[in-house]
Amino acid sequence: MKQTIDQLPLTKEIADVLQQLGIKDVNPAYSTGLAWGGQEGRATRQIYSPADGNLIATVSMASEEDYEHMVETAQQAFKVWRTVPAPKRGEIVRQIGQKLREHKEALGKLVSYEMGKILQEGLGEVQEMIDICDFAVGLSRQLHGYTMHSERPQHRMYEQYHPLGVVGVISAFNFPVAVWSWNTMLGVVCGDVIVWKPSEKTPLSAIACQHIIRDVLADNELPEGIFNLVVGDATIGSLMSHDSRLPLVSATGSTRMGKKVGEAVGARLGKSLLELGGNNAIIMTEHADIEMALGAVVFGAVGTCGQRCTSTRRLIIHENIYEQVKERLARIYPKLPIGHPLDSTTLVGPLIDKDAVASFLNALEHVQQEGGKLVVGGQVLEGESYETGTYVTPAIVEAENAFEMVQEETFAPILYLIKYSGEVENAIALQNGVRQGLSSSIFSTNLLETEAFLSHLGSDCGIANVNIGTSGAEIGGAFGGEKETGGGRESGSDAWRVYMRRQTNTLNYSRQMPLAQGIKFDIMD
């Protein structure tokens, strides 16, 4: 029996949003662009909003047979899509970007309601999708290689890039749609087709995107299988990782998950693009503009309720300003509006689920056992407005960088205050003294300090900012990190190259057959 949206305990606003996005009843387990499948006899998962605990929908989960059918469809679509000129592929992405503009408010509300981030961040996530579409449209006319001079006379050398094929994208709950778009819009202008496994915690936002894309595909009479969606658990992710028909798997999530994906893909000599854990720090030197820094610190630490991979986890403060900064933060935190993410006055929404709350409480207990001192926050909120049990007060803890818990990434709003003395190099050593290497930042008005931070002896992260926080990257720059963050790069700059295979070509337009390196190899007839 189908379950329609109007049968669920949703507000009219959310019901209208779902219907605007084409989500009206039980959702199939997979989509091949224009066709949906997998309703009958599949396992299901109920999707609840962390904002109010309401059941949003019941979603069918894909089987191995569903996955197999979808990949076969994608393979057939690739044979067609790779022959479409890149600028024409860019035109399809342009139309998708326009559809996203039309649905920005509705999709942003769904992202906020399903995941729990505040509405401003939900709208910002959809804007990221629009921005990467614009970037990819321009890129579709710039998939360039290089020309090189040959050592042999009347020879020409150059390189060109070809599409890889079927690209797998495994995305995380904290950015239900944006990270997929980073990979997908670049991949499709490169000539690839996409198989997307969203987080099973936030499948509705992904399903909404597929509905939006279906309209564009239908308008352009394109085949099934260019944009594919599969809703499933870790079993589907494992199938993708081990599937040699997917030459590239892009995976976003925890370091533990990424190691499994990387090992499986590497064992078959495939390519993996990994965006994994972050343990990001802001350095505040004694020359920092404290007023400017505080805004970045608070947004970085509590934005998305601490559930961004770029969230600020550690604040490394010079001893001369340490007490001043701690006191200011201790005054700001209790005043942060915590509540329903669709309330325009809210700055901190809920954690994704009660498991995340348990991790939050466990981390605070553990770090205090190690000697950390709780400054403020750390409670689970109760009462009528917080009956889901997913709302917490963001915490500040005085700690040492070497603490076991500080070395770990906890996906929750915990900010560790770490004191340093002496020169900025001491702070940089603390910043680098973790296994992860995603985002980093320094606040200082001293040119010598900021240049030291940006030098080859400075931050070892993939992102290093000056007088800007760790969180909130623009799509124009390549996004990713080093060490246990995985080494991948997505979004801007030349990140497009990972979605293509490079080929070196040498053309001989002489009537001779000289060999490289001056080798003589004369054949006697």
Annotated catalytic sites, by residue?
275, 309
CB 175 within 8 A of CB 247: no
Residue type, 88: K
Q: Hey, is 500 helix, strand or coil?
A: strand
Residue type, 411: F
Q: Where are the alpha helices (DSSP H) in 303-423?
A: 322-332, 354-369, 404-407
Q: With the C-alpha atoms ordered 67, 501, 270, 274, is the resulting torsion angle positive or negative?
A: negative
| Rounded distance between C-alpha atoms, residue 297 and residue 472, angstroms | 12
| Rounded distance between C-alpha atoms, residue 382 and residue 193, angstroms | 46
CB 196 within 8 A of CB 172: no
DSSP letters along 253-310, please? S-HHHHHHHHHHHHHTT-EEEEE----EEEEE-TT--HHHHHHHHHHHHHGGGG-STT
Q: Hey, is 338 helix, strand or coil?
A: strand
| Rounded distance between C-alpha atoms, residue 118 and residue 41, angstroms | 36
| Rounded distance between C-alpha atoms, residue 331 and residue 290, angstroms | 14
Question: Chain-centre distance of CA 75, in angstroms?
Answer: 25
| Rounded distance between C-alpha atoms, residue 286 and residue 444, angstroms | 7
The contacts of residue 242 (CB under 8 Å, 6+ apart) are: 264, 268
| Rounded distance between C-alpha atoms, residue 192 and residue 500, angstroms | 8
CB 342 within 8 A of CB 112: yes
Q: Which residue has the tokens 């770090």?
A: 367
CB 258 within 8 A of CB 276: yes
Instruction: Compute how many other C-beta atoms are within 10 angstroms of the C-beta atom of residue 403.
Output: 19
C-alpha distances out from residue 11 to 46, 49, 54, 342, Å: 18, 12, 9, 12
Q: Hey, is 315 helix, strand or coil?
A: strand
H or E segment at 59? Answer: strand 55-60
CB 47 within 8 A of CB 58: yes
| Rounded distance between C-alpha atoms, residue 417 and residue 314, angstroms | 6
